[in-house]
């Protein structure tokens, strides 16, 4: 399954933070983009394992899923 990720450079940690908007709270980081992307793969696997273990609804079960943007 493919997930869209948001990659941001964090000056404070001098590395990259990766967020998976579809998976609430699924975040990882790395010193390089490649390292951050490898780490987020592990984070996604862990996130999915925990959700399945606790019988929470898997977002992949939705027929369609929309990711939007809101300006306040």
- Rg (C-alpha) for the chain, rounded Å, is 14
pLDDT in tens, 44-69: 999 999 988 887 755 555 556 565 65
15 CB-near residues (< 8 Å, 6+ apart): 9, 29, 30, 31, 32, 35, 36
Measured CA to CA, the distance from residue 43 to residue 58 in angstroms comes to 15
**What pLDDT, on the 0 to 100 scale, is given for residue 66?**
60
Structural domain including 22 reads 6-61
- On whether residue 70 sits in a domain, the answer given is no
Domain with residue 27: its CATH number is 3.30.160.250
Q: Dihedral of CA 69/13/39/52: which sign?
A: negative
Once rounded to an integer, what is the mean pLDDT over residues 19-32? 93
């Amino acid at each position: 399954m493919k997930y869209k990720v948001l990659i941001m450079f964090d000056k404070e940690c001098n590395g990259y933070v990766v967020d998976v908007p579809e998976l609430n709270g699924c975040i990882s980081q790395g010193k390089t983009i490649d390292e951050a992307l490898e780490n987020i793969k592990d984070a996604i696997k862990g996130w999915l394992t925990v959700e399945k273990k606790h019988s929470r609804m898997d977002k992949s079960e939705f027929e369609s899923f929309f990711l939007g943007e809101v300006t306040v």
